[in-house]
Chain A
Amino acid sequence: DTAVSQTPKYLVTQMGNDKSIKCEQNLGHDTMYWYKQDSKKFLKIMFSYNNKELIINETVPNRFSPKSPDKAHLNLHINSLELGDSAVYFCASSQLTSGGAFRFGPGTRLTVL
């Protein structure tokens, strides 16, 4: 039973296109996150939603727009894709109040050509 799932797993697209990545968790966690992992494996937080409310919004180009329709879903839409957007994007969830562990999704490898 998958805890945190992401779709698609791979995304190859041309520069300038718009794409979306979807994330769903079935753990009942109240907080969800998007992280970007670059080619050097550095993980950088992008956004976080707690009970559908945006609580973390790091310095990310406004071409990136998260959306949380409910506590179990967090999507990421990217407009006008650039070469530098190529990375692996991870969704994660946690129970904020307990300060506990993250559960990560399998990642979406985005390649912009």
Chain B
Amino acid sequence: SQQGEEDPQALSIQEGENATMNCSYKTSINNLQWYRQNSGRGLVHLILIRSNEREKHSGRLRVTLDTSKKSSSLLITASRAADTASYFCATVPPTSGTYKYIFGTGTRLKVLA
């Protein structure tokens, strides 16, 4: 079964508001990454958080990781219309023996101008 599952599946907010997306996974991880996919495009890496880290920031992005709950959240502050995209988490189980990144089903974010 899928390693990462994002929640909510879809999110619609007004420009300027914050957007929070969650990712839950089932097994231990080496690291967890968040990606953005604009419609009709490839995925773009946003941020990587290692299993021994709890929080990471990059510009308007803030990622948290709770390995005890096997969950991560991505917060986008002061959202813009250009943030409209699908957001995916990707996890690498340490026991896989290879870097087999497994992607969740994604959260479709719509930011209304």
Binding site for B on A (CB under 8 A): 4, 31, 35, 40-43, 45, 48, 50, 55-56, 90, 92, 94, 96, 99-107
Chain B, range 59-113, C-beta contacts under 8 Å to A: 86, 88, 90, 92, 98-103, 105-106, 108
User: Chain A residues with Cβ under 8 A from B43's Cβ?
Assistant: 43, 90, 92, 102, 104
Bound-state CA distance A40–B104 (Å) is 11
User: Chain B residues with Cβ under 8 A from A92's Cβ?
Assistant: 42-43
Number of B residues contacting the other chain (C-beta, 8 Å)? 26
Binding site for A on B (CB under 8 A): 2, 30-31, 33, 35, 37, 40-45, 48, 86, 88, 90, 92, 98-103, 105-106, 108
A104-B99 in contact given A99-B31, A99-B92 (Cβ < 8 Å): no
Q: Which 5 A-B pairs have the closest CB atoms?
A: A104-B42, A101-B45, A43-B103, A104-B43, A106-B42
Tally of A-B Cβ pairs under 8 angstroms? 56
Beta-carbon contact of A41 and B99 below 8 Å: no
Beta-carbon contact of A99 and B30 below 8 Å: yes
A41-B41 in contact given A56-B100, A99-B99 (Cβ < 8 Å): no
A100-B48 in contact given A43-B103, A48-B100 (Cβ < 8 Å): yes
Bound-state CA distance A92–B86 (Å) is 18
Q: Which of B30, B44, B102 contacts A104 (CB 8 A)?
A: B44
User: Chain B residues with Cβ under 8 A from A31's Cβ?
Assistant: 99
A94-B103 in contact given A43-B88, A101-B48 (Cβ < 8 Å): no
User: Chain B residues with Cβ under 8 A from A103's Cβ?
Assistant: 45
Beta-carbon contact of A40 and B105 below 8 Å: yes
Q: Which of A42, A96, A105, A107 contacts B99 (CB 8 A)?
A: A96
User: Chain B residues with Cβ under 8 A from A41's Cβ?
Assistant: 37, 86, 105-106, 108
Bound-state CA distance A90–B33 (Å) is 17
Beta-carbon contact of A45 and B100 below 8 Å: yes
28 chain-A/chain-B pairs, Cβ below 8 angstroms: A4-B42, A35-B103, A41-B37, A42-B2, A42-B103, A43-B43, A45-B100, A48-B98, A48-B100, A50-B98, A56-B98, A90-B42, A90-B43, A92-B43, A96-B99, A99-B31, A99-B92, A99-B99, A101-B33, A101-B45, A102-B33, A102-B45, A102-B90, A102-B101, A104-B42, A104-B44, A106-B41, A107-B41
